[in-house]
Amino acid sequence: MILSLERSTSPPVDLMMELEVRPLHPDFGVEILSVDLSMPLEYERFAQIERAVEHYSVVLFRGQSFDDDSQLAFSRRFGALEYGHVAYGRDGSIEYVGRIGNIDKNGKQLPSKHKKVVFSTGNEMWHSDSSFREVPARLSISYAHEVTPDGGELEFVSTRPAYARLPPDLKETLANLVAIHDYTYSRSKVGEDVVSASLAASLPPVPQKLVRTNQATGAKNYYVGSHARSIEGWRDEDARVLLDDLVARATTPEHRYQHSWQIGDLLIWDNRCVLHRGMPYDADRYRRRMHQTRVAGLSSSLDED
Ligand SMILES: [Fe+2]
């Protein structure tokens, strides 16, 4: 049976029956079992998976077999893809598969002091992928090619239950606020001059709604993270206190799901309502390589209901 994406904050009653799932965390996230994504995926099955993403925000498949072409084809079923901002900012080239980790395009392991590996430590701060773009990413889809035996986990929290936990007066304060997201600001915490002039010029600060509403389910969440620099109409120091407080509320240990990678994992997360961060790992000792695609949002968050 195909369900429409009605605006309901609870999962469709038969979603759990249509798909064999295992919860990843009491608040969000499921592993979908018994689906081989290398086999042709009929429309109905794909629609169930997309509904699971809308409702559970983090969706895991284990033991999958993808190359870049099949990952791109699967990702495009969710919508138009976002090209990587780093390659574009460097020389204007368009790349739809990002490489996460310490392995270069020739398969060579990069040391921990390598510029690219140092740069990627910015992902160890809680963030939402590409919230600094005018049209931010809707989904990120990561496939594990090489994994570390320890370290390098990915941690997630959902700002949907975090929003629901807020006291009513704070919800009221947030209601119509607009935050400024700024890539150069967030990367300034990694080190000086890590963002080239051409990359900075290609990513000017952008406004985003502080409270977002899932267009399929009507569920609300707040939209923050390391790229959120300030709030329109607020003094910077007051904005910093509020933005940090919202991240702190969402990320206390009991609200986190920590994902330990296995080769063959395909992980999908909804950047509109989850924050994530990579855990440190020993890049001199271990190889780590995830290939990531991103599904673009449909508009700026300012244009959402
Ligand atoms: Fe990320």
Give 127's strand partners: 276
In a domain, 2, yes or no: no
Centre of ligand 1 to C-alpha 122, Å, is 9
Over residues 238-288, the pLDDT tens digits come to: 999 999 999 999 999 999 999 999 999 999 999 999 999 999 999 999 999
In a domain, 156, yes or no: yes
Residue type at position 255: H
Centre of ligand 1 to C-alpha 176, Å, is 26
Whichever domain contains 57, its CATH number is 3.60.130.10
Centre of ligand 1 to C-alpha 67, Å, is 20
* Number of separate domains in the chain: 1
C-beta separation of 300 from 180 below 8 A: no
Q: Measure the CA dihedral 68/69/73/75, to 10°.
A: 10
Over residues 79-100, the pLDDT tens digits come to: 999 998 888 888 888 899 999 9
In a domain, 9, yes or no: no
Centre of ligand 1 to C-alpha 178, Å, is 22
Main-chain dihedrals φ then ψ at residue 4, nearest 5 degrees: -80, 160
Main-chain dihedrals φ then ψ at residue 267, nearest 5 degrees: -120, 130
Confidence of residue 3 (pLDDT cuts 50, 70, 90): very low
In a domain, 4, yes or no: no
In a domain, 183, yes or no: yes
Q: How far is CA 271 from CA 98, 104, 193, 202, 212, in A?
A: 16, 26, 27, 21, 11
Centre of ligand 1 to C-alpha 30, Å, is 19
Q: Who contacts 198 (Cβ-Cβ below 8 Å, separation ≥6)?
A: 89, 90
The pTM (predicted TM-score) of the whole model is: 0.93
In a domain, 252, yes or no: yes
In a domain, 8, yes or no: no
Centre of ligand 1 to C-alpha 155, Å, is 10
Centre of ligand 1 to C-alpha 138, Å, is 12
Q: Quote the CA–CA distance of 189 and 231 in Å, as a whole number.
A: 19
The domain in which residue 111 lies consists of 15-298
Over residues 122-180, the pLDDT tens digits come to: 899 999 999 999 999 999 999 999 999 999 999 999 999 999 999 999 999 999 999 99
The maximal CA–CA distance of the chain, rounded, in angstroms, is 55
In a domain, 56, yes or no: yes
What tokens appear for 192 in the block? 């000086």
